[in-house]
Chains A and B, each alone.
Chain A
Amino acid sequence: MNAIEINGLTKCYEDFKLDDITMNIPMGSIVGLVGENGAGKTTTINLIMDSVSRDAGVVKVFGIDNKDCRFTSLKNDIGVVLDEAYYPEILNAKDVNSIMKYTYINWDEKTYFEYIKKLNMPLNKKFKDYSRGMKMKLAISVAMSHEAKLLILDEATSGLDPMVRDEVLQTFNEFTREEDKTVLLSSHIVSDLEKICDYIAFIHRGKLVFMEEKDVILNKFSLINISKDSVSDIPKEAIVGLKENKYSTEILVRKEMVNKGFKSEHFSLEDVILFMAKEVN
Chain B
Amino acid sequence: MVGLLLKDILTISRHKIYFIMIIGFVLIPDEFLSNFVIVFAAMLPITAIAYDERSKWNELQNMMPYSSREIIYSKYILGYLLMGIVTAMSYLLHFILSIFIEEYKALIEPSIVISILGVALIISAINMPIMFKFGVEKGRFAFIGLMALTTMLGTNLSILEIDMFYNTNIEIIILCIALIVNILSIFISSKINLKLGGNLS
A binding-site residues for B, Cβ under 8 Å: 46, 49-53, 67-76, 78, 80, 82, 84-91, 95, 98-105, 127, 152
Contacts and interface: CB of A to CB of B under 8 A. Distances in A.
- Ranked 8 nearest A-B pairs via Cβ: A69-B201, A51-B62, A102-B3, A103-B3, A80-B63, A75-B65, A102-B2, A86-B56
Contacts of A75: 63-65
Contacts of B4: 103
Nearest to B68: A72
Contacts of B168: none
Given A90-B11, A90-B51, A99-B6, A72 B56 contact: no
Given A78-B63, A82-B63, A103-B3, A88 B52 contact: yes
Contacts of A127: 55
B2 A72 contact: no
Contacts of A102: 2-3, 6
A127 B197 CA distance: 28
A100 B65 contact: no
15 contacts: A49-B62, A50-B197, A53-B197, A75-B64, A84-B56, A87-B60, A88-B11, A89-B54, A91-B10, A95-B7, A95-B10, A101-B3, A103-B65, A104-B64, A104-B65
A86 B66 contact: no
Interface residues of B, number: 27
Contacts of B10: 88, 90-91, 95, 98-99
B11 A91 contact: yes
Contacts of B6: 98-99, 102
B8 to A, nearest CB: 9
Contacts of B67: 72
A239 B79 CA distance: 64
B193 interface: no
A90 B50 CA distance: 13
Given A72-B67, A73-B65, A75-B64, A88 B51 contact: yes
Contacts of A86: 55-60
A51 B63 contact: yes
A164 B201 CA distance: 38
A90 B199 contact: no
B87 to A, nearest CB: 26
